Structure 1
């Protein structure tokens, strides 16, 4: 093997793949060139560069100007976690969804939510890191073409979903870290388009929502009754 590339290293490490990544590095021939790509440089990423890379050259790229401008952000207070599904079903009845992305925090939750929505006759697609690349490519092609209108995904793929016509992002789960928030909802307002982000918030999520507001100097308001007019 001449080259090994680890993309989205910060996401891979934060999602519990550290042991597998270390195993791969230890099996690589010493002559293998290693390329590590990461949007952020937390301590665990730096540890990988120290342990497995020889005299690494660090290349810093100017941060992309992701912005929340043009994106209306709302929250729906959900008393219990198990009530989120009915809340989402009610939202389907309230708004006409051209295309939407729904984010969950785990692959298991993505599969569970997909099964539940399909059982209620909603047409949705799912995509997460457990799927083969060829399968993910087909799903993304269908989503880009508009033949699939609702995509349920995890954070691992949040940065790779770049679809012009997405006008609605639903955070079924608030992201586990605030940095991922803008990667999730930023696609709603890309290409000069307006967008709406709706966050499902339980009592346990209020603190994280306030941290997100403070971190981005933004305000997430309670969803109004006329939200359908905004999408």
Structure 2
């Protein structure tokens, strides 16, 4: 898989790779133009929390990770109801549909991309 090839952190811990072996080495740091936020919101308020953050921080594109698919779909529905370009990416989607959603997000057609664990595959 392609990753970010920016500077790496020398103080990174040893990690277990996908194959189960232990890898020692450098782990890339986040690119300077990216920001990472961790937000906890009650289920009924998740869509509003995302919408408020996007507007308050004037974010162009946002990738939001959620644990389960049903709340993810609900948040996308609520964001769209408030005229925010949002899309979902989850494991129930066929591979071609997932690819189309990712391409739309890359091109800026979706401002918010809500993803389940499928994004790590």
Give the TM bin, normalised by the shorter chain.
0.5 to 0.7
Structure with max Cα Rg: 1
Matched, 1:149 2:111: yes
In structure 1, the residue matched to 2:74 is 112
Q: Counterpart of 1:39?
A: 18
Unpaired runs of 5+ in structure 1?
A: 1-37, 42-59, 161-231
Instruction: Name the residue aligned to 1:35.
Output: none
Deviation track 1:75-94 (CA, whole Å, cap 9, x = no partner) reads 5564x443333322322331
Residue 98 of structure 1 deviates from its aligned partner by 1.4
| Larger RCO, structure (CA 8 Å, separation 6 or more) | 1
Change (3 A) 1:99 1:74: closer
Higher helix share goes to which structure?
A: 1
Give the aligned length: 103
Question: C-alpha distance in 2, partners of 1:94/1:141?
Answer: 26
Contact 2:85 2:111 in 1 (8 A): yes
TM-score, normalization: structure 2? 0.66
What is the distance in 1 between the residues matched to 2:114 and 2:88? 5
Q: Secondary structure at the match of 1:125?
A: strand
Q: Does 1:129 align with 2:91?
A: yes
State the SS of the aligned residue for 2:99: helix
TM-score of the aligned structures, taking structure 1 as reference length: 0.38
Unaligned ranges ≥5, structure 2: 1-16
The verdict on how the C-alpha distance between 1:95 and 1:129 changes in structure 2, with shifts beyond 3 A counting, is same
